[in-house]
Amino acid sequence: MRCDMHVHTVHSGMCTIPVLRRWCRESYNDPLALRERLEARGMDLITVTDHDSIDAAERLRGLPNFFLSEEVTCRTPDGNEFHMGVYDITERDHAQLQQRRDDLPALLAYLAERNLLFSINHAFSGLTGRRSDRDFQWFQERFPLVETRNGQMLKSSNRAARRMARANAQFPIGGSDAHTLHAAGRTYTEVPGARSKAEFLAGLRAGRGRVRGESGTYWKLTRAVLAIGGGMLRERPWTALLLPLSLVAPLITLGNYANERMFAAFWERRLAFHGAAAGRGQLRAPASATAS
C-alpha cells in the first residue's frame, strides 16, 4: 500500500513570508481535489498533514481510505521551532497536541501515553529557523520515525536525514510536502504487503516502510511558489498589485536553495553518525553551539 504522508490544504494557515503573511496562504489545495489527485497518482490511503489544523477532515472523514493526521509546529527546550508529523489521531489528540506543542517533554509524554506514531520532518532544513546540538539529540533519541524523503527538500537535506535515521536505528517515512496539487503524490511511503490502514501503520512501526519518489529541486520550488501566488490572486484579486513580486520569485527561491544547501551541509558535517550498532548518533561539537 502507498500513502503520501505529508500533504497540505487550504487549512494550513497563512504563509510566513513577512510581506505576504496577511494575504497569502501556505496552500490553496482543496481537500477533495487533493484526494482525487492523490488517488490518481496511485495512493491507496489518504491523509492530510496541515499545519496545526485538522479542519480538512470535515470534507474527508467519511472516506474509507482516509485517516486523520497533522503537522504540529513545536518548540524544543532551546526555543527552536520544528515540525512534527503525527499520524492517525483523533480530534481529542489534536487538542492535546496543540496544548503541549511548546513543551516538548510534555508533548512526547502524551505521544507515548497514547502510543501515537510520529516523525521529525525535514530536520535538515532551515525553513523553520535555527537548530542547536541539543535539538538534534532530541530528534535522534526520541523520534521513532524520520522523514528521510521530502518532496520539497533538496537531495542533500534528505540524504542527511537518511544518514541520521540509519545511524540511530530510526525508521523512514516520506511524503511530498505538497502545497500545490502538482506535487501531491510524487513522493510517498510504501509498505509492501499491507492490505489495510492498520497493516500499513503497523508496517511503519516495524520499519517496513519504503520511501519512494522525488526530492525537491530549484525549479520545483519556484513552480510551487508561483502557483501559490496564483492561488492568492484568485482568492484576493486586488493582490494583482503585487504581481511585480513574481518577477523576483526565481531569485528568492535561488537564495533559499543556497541557504538550504549550506544548512544541510553544516549539520551533516557537525553530526558524526556512528551507525546503528552504537544505538545513537553522537555530536562532534559541544552542546552550546548553534546554527541558523
Its domain, for residue 117, covers 2-291
pLDDT tens, position by position, for the chain (292 residues)?
999 999 999 999 999 877 788 899 999 999 999 999 999 999 999 999 999 999 999 999 889 999 999 999 999 999 999 999 999 999 999 999 999 999 999 999 999 999 999 999 999 999 999 999 999 999 999 999 999 999 999 999 999 999 999 999 999 999 999 999 999 999 999 999 999 999 999 999 999 999 999 999 999 999 999 999 999 999 999 989 888 888 888 888 999 899 999 999 999 999 976 444 344 444 433 333 344 4
Region of 38 (left: φ > 0; alpha: ψ -120 to 50; beta: rest) is alpha
CATH, residue 59? 3.20.20.140
- Of residues 105, 145, 106, the one with CA closest to residue 123: 145
In the beta sheet, which residues pair with residue 60? none
Q: Nearest CA to 176 among 152, 146, 155?
A: 152
Cβ atoms of residues 85 and 173 within 8 Å:
yes
Cite the beta strand spans of the chain per DSSP E: 2-3, 46-48, 66-75, 81-87, 117-121, 131-132, 145-150, 171-175, 187-190, 210-213, 271-272, 282-283, 290-291
Helix (H), strand (E) at residue 106: helix 104-114
What does the chain come to in residues?
A: 292
**Phi and psi (nearest 5°) for 69?**
-145, 175
Which pTM does this prediction carry? 0.91
Please give the tally of structural domains in the chain. 1
How far apart CA 214 and CA 54 sit, in angstroms, is 26
Which residues contact residue 201 at a Cβ distance below 8 angstroms, ignoring those fewer than 6 apart?
87, 88, 117
